[in-house]
Structures are given as C-alpha cells and as structure tokens.
Amino acid sequence: MAKRGPTYHCQACGAVYHRWQGKCDACGTWSSLVEDAATAPVPGGGRASGNSRVRGRVFALETLKGDTQDAPRITSGIGELDRVTGGGFVPGSVLLIGGDPGIGKSTLLMQACAALALAGQRVVYVSGEESTGQVRLRAERMGLAEAPVDLAAETNVEDIVATLSEGRRPALVVIDSIQTMWSGEVESAPGTVTQVRGSAQALIRYAKTSGVCLILVGHVTKDGQIAGPRVVEHMVDAVLSFEGEGAHSFRILRGQKNRFGPTDEIGVFEMTGKGLSEVTNPSALFLAGRDQPAPGAAVFAGIEGTRPVLVEIQALVAPTALGTPRRAVVGWENSRLAMVLAVLETHGGLRLGQHDVYLNVAGGLRVNEPAADIAVAAALVSSLTGAILPQEAVYFGEVALSGSVRPVSVTAARLREAAKLGFEAAMMPAGGNDHGDGGGLNLRRFGHVTELVADIAARAPRRDVKSRGPKGDAED
C-alpha cells in the first residue's frame, strides 16, 4: 500500500492540502501553509494504520418520539450574559467568546466567575496570557478580590485537565485564551492551527465527559473573525462575539451560534471604573443625547435577536467636487447602501450621482437586518431635500429592487418598544398584519418608495426642493 504523505494546514483559515503551495485557495493568504505530518490519534489510544481494520460496536437506534426535557442551567447572576446564552450556562457545554484586544472579554468573564463563586459554585479561571498577579490586580480594581475563584497561570492542556480532575468538580472553567494553549500530543509549535485545534479538542473532550461548562476565549483577526481554524467554531456549542468601539463606553455581547438558545441575541453592557454594568434598556442608551431636529436623522425600530432596539440613523448628502462620489458607511453594509441609492435614483427620481453620501448608525451599533432600508432611505431623502423628519416617529421596512416596501417580522414588538419610549408615530410597510393594536401609535403605511419620497419632500423648504430635491420638483 502506498505510504501516506504529509498534509499542510493553512494558518489563517485551517484549510487542508496534500501538497504545499504558496497561496491558500480558501482564504487567499500567501505563505500560510505549514506541514503537519503527524498521524492523528484514534480514540482507542493507538494511531490510525493504513492496513488495520477496527470493528466498531453496535449501538441501538431511537425514534424522534420520546421523553424530552430542557437542559439544566447555571445562572451567572449577570442578566445580560444569561440572556445571550439562553438562560444560563448548560453543564457540559463549551462556549467560544471572541473580541478585539482590550474590549472587556476578561473583565466580563471575571465578573461571571466571581458571581458564580460567591453563589457557592466551584469556578476555575486559567490564564495563559497573564500571570496570577496580573489577574489579581484586575480583580482588586473591580472589587472582586474576595470571591473564592480558583486561579492558575498555565498553558499545557494535559496539566490543566489533570489538575481540574482533582477535587470537587468545577461548575465553570474559563480558558483565557485558547491560542496560548499547547498539547504534548500534537507535534506542532504553540499557537499554530494544529495546536489550537488539538488543544481545543482535548479541552472539549474533558468538558463533555465531566459535565463541566467550559468557556474558551479566542483572539480575533483584523476583519473581526475569531483567529485559528474555523473547525473550532463547529466543535463548540456556542460562539459569542464581544463588540464595541473605543470611543463609546458600551459593549455588545452578540450570540452568533447557540445550540441551547436563540442566535443573534444581544446583551448590552457599559464599561465603568468598576467593570461592566448591565444596560437593561439599550434603546434609551442609543437614543440618549440626540441632536436637535435636523435633516438627515431617522430613528430605526430594529430587532436584535428577540430584543427590540431603537437607534438613530444619520445621513449626510453633500455635493461632490470629485469625479467619483464618496460612499462612507459606519454601522451598516456598503452593498446595502448602494442598493438603496440605486432604488432612490431609479424609482424615487432623486439625483444622487453627483453627491457624496455619508451614513452612520449613532452610538456604534452595527445593524444587519434589511428592515433598516426604509430608515436609511428616509434619512438620505431628508438630507438631500433639507426636510426635517418628525422627531416622534420611527421607521422600519425592507425596500425591494422594484421600489416596493416589503413587510418585516416582529412588527408588534417594534411598535411596543417605540410606544414605551414616548414615540407617537410609525412609518411602516403597507402589507403585513403582525402589529396588534399598534401600541397606541399613529401608523403611516407606505407601499412604494415613491410615496416615502413624496411625503418627505412635502416637508422640505421650497428652495431646497428646487435646488436639490427630486427631479420632478427641480423641473417645476
């Protein structure tokens, strides 16, 4: 039988190749392939052999019908963290949390560890990047030094598993971070893709067999992706992303994957001198300090996971002196903005080809759902025509390429949140009936983007409409 040759792994994305090449075809990174000639160990303790045949055991099959029960939960005492995880930590589950350096990952996890330890649970915090003295200093600054958290500074996976197996079984184990871990069973340098995958597999196997909830901290790359092989994200039960801007004090914990709860759920925190504090009403935070009424500002009623969130969308449309107008976006998709601009040009009759367009989601939140199309379109038209949008109104709805305004989901929750914060009107799609009583708001419905443009243009000063407004008004 032919001898099996070495394999090569991409350090950036984890793609596997059977021969070396200069560029990874999966992610496009140059000189990122490293050789991994070690043969993978098999669960039985030996190594896979090309001429050996292992007979598997026969197990019983079951049907879909049967007794089920919800997974038990260990609540951390931090409401926003429990909300994102689906109600608390599940014993035997593995969570991967990533975020930019200094965003507050270690601070959040230290607070969770302290809360569980004070509640009588055994909690172990293993740091591979800092010494125990550095971790103690952080705990003292946060006022958590008295919490009975077991602390260690170690990077060898086998030593960590052996230590955790002694004494009372922990309820929660935090590994900060998985990129610093290394295993003696993996023939590769620490920090490489092979070591990260092997170390994660060993720690996950320990968590599944012992029933310990395990949290792995992961570094992120320049584009915001968790560094290391993507297979680690498939191995864990939940992937959480900790987001935030350095210029803003709030942080957002977003669930990107969760086998035991809803995905795309968010938890909002505010960074203070004593650590992270929960923000139970994110809409009030994002709308705090709104500017005086001015053109180009619209309030969007969005949904993040199961939570309604109101945020202000700001637009600035200004004549350009460049051959190619600028399109700058913060907090939204560039491709989505290009689509909305094309629809306004084609169906709304607006001249935007000779204008620079700047779009910003106030507060630093990143909006991903298509329901923001109408709010963005309203802000753009308002800035172009000089019309001031009603301060007491919220906007939501998806814009199709034909110019029609399509209904969105969870309309009732959006309206209730707007009514709770004192808004009086909602600009929404004409279709759909998932709104109940409308939360007491005055509902204004639009079936096509031309209706929205006409409504906003009617509010604009006449001189601005003539000089910069829709084509029909400019030609009058």
Residue 243: CATH number of its domain: 3.40.50.300
Judgement on whether residues 269 and 301 belong to the same structural domain of the protein: no
Within a 10 A sphere around the Cβ of 145, how many other Cβ atoms? 13
Q: How far apart are CA 397 and CA 452, in angstroms?
A: 11
How far apart CA 13 and CA 359 sit, in angstroms, is 32
Least confident interval from 38-52, 181-195, 264-278, 293-307: 38-52
Domain boundary residue, one of 255, 280, 305: 280
Domain that holds residue 124: 79-280
H or E stretch covering 181: none
Which SS3 state, helix, strand or coil, does residue 129 take?
coil
C-beta neighbour count of 95 within 10 angstroms: 26
Taking the C-alpha atoms of residue 61 and residue 287, their distance in angstroms, rounded to an integer, is 54
What pLDDT does 45 receive? 46
* Averaged pLDDT, 229-246: 84
Looking at the structure, tell me whether residues 396 and 436 fall in a common domain. Answer: yes
The mean-pLDDT minimum among 179-188, 197-206, 214-223, 333-342 falls in 214-223
Tokens of 318: 């200004």
One domain, residues 20 and 140 = no
272 and 290 in a common domain:
no
Q: Residue 176 phi/psi, 5° resolution?
A: -125, 95
pLDDT given at position 434: 59
What is the predicted pLDDT for the residue at 460? 84
Specify the pLDDT at position 205. Answer: 96
Residue 280 has pLDDT above 90, yes or no: no
What Å distances lie between residue 461 and 17, 171, 456, 472, 474, CA to CA? Answer: 64, 64, 11, 15, 13
Report which residue type is found at 327.
R
Q: Do 124 and 97 share a structural domain?
A: yes
Query: 118 lies in a domain?
Result: yes
Domain shared by 259 and 307, yes or no: no
Domain count, the chain: 3
Question: What's the pLDDT at 209?
Answer: 95
Complete DSSP assignment for 315-346: EEEEE--SSS--EEEESS-HHHHHHHHHHHHH
pLDDT score of 47: 47
Contact at 8 Å (CB) between 387 and 381? Answer: yes
Residue 237 and residue 296 in one domain: no
pTM check: above 0.85: no
- Comparing CA positions, the residue from 473, 322, 449 lying closest to residue 385 is 473
Non-local CB neighbours of 38 within 8 Å, separated by 6+ positions: 186, 187, 188, 194
- The DSSP code for 365 is P
In a domain, 142, yes or no: yes
Alpha carbons 124 and 110: distance in angstroms, whole number: 10
Of residues 426 and 219, more confidently modeled: 426
Pairing of strands 250-258, 7-10: unpaired
d(CA 137, CA 134): 5
Six token digits for residue 17: 């190749």
User: Does residue 268 share a domain with residue 172?
Assistant: yes
Residue whose entry in the numeric block shows the structure tokens 């006022």: 143
User: Residue 49 and residue 4: Cα distance in Å, rounded?
Assistant: 10
Same domain membership, residue 264 and residue 249: yes
- Could you tell me the CATH number of the domain that includes residue 294? 3.30.230.10
Is the model's pLDDT at 436 over the cut of 70? no
Q: Are strands 327-330 and 398-399 parallel, antiparallel or unpaired?
A: unpaired
> Same structural domain for residues 264 and 301?
no
Residue 111 CB contacts under 8 Å (≥ 6 apart), including other chains: 78, 142, 144, 275, 276
Residue 69 φ then ψ, to 5°:
-150, 150
Q: Is residue 357 part of a domain?
A: yes
Give the model's confidence band at 44: pLDDT under 50 very low, under 70 low, under 90 confident, else very high.
very low
At residue 276, the pLDDT reads 92
For residue 192, the SS3 value is coil
Q: Which of 213, 248, 280 is the last residue of a domain?
A: 280
Q: Is residue 66 part of a domain?
A: no
**291 lies in the same domain as 256:** no
Cβ proximity of 300 and 290 under 8 Å: no
Find tokens 């598997």 and name the residue.
56
DSSP state of 235: H
Last residue of a domain, one of 232, 262, 280: 280
**Three-state DSSP state, 266:** strand
Residue 255's contacts (CB-CB under 8 Å, 6 or more residues apart) are 84, 85, 86, 238, 239, 240, 241, 261, 262, 263, 264, 265, 266, 305
Q: Is residue 68 a part of any domain in this protein?
A: no
Could you give the count of Cα atoms lying within 13 Å of 312 in the half-sphere of its Cβ?
Answer: 22
Residue 290 domain flag:
yes
How confident is the model over 397-407, as a mean pLDDT? Answer: 95
pLDDT above 60 (res 471) = no
pLDDT in tens, 136-175: 999 999 999 999 999 999 999 999 999 999 989 999 999 9
Q: Do residue 322 and residue 420 come from a single domain? A: yes
Indicate if the pLDDT at residue 431 is higher than 70.
Answer: yes
Classify 281 as helix, strand or coil.
coil
pLDDT at residue 306 is higher than 90: no
383 assigned to some structural domain:
yes
Q: Please report the DSSP string for 117-147 in residue order.
A: HHTT--EEEEESSS-HHHHHHHHHHTT-TTS
Residue 46 covered by a domain? no
Work out the number of other CB atoms within 10 angstroms of the CB of residue 82: 19
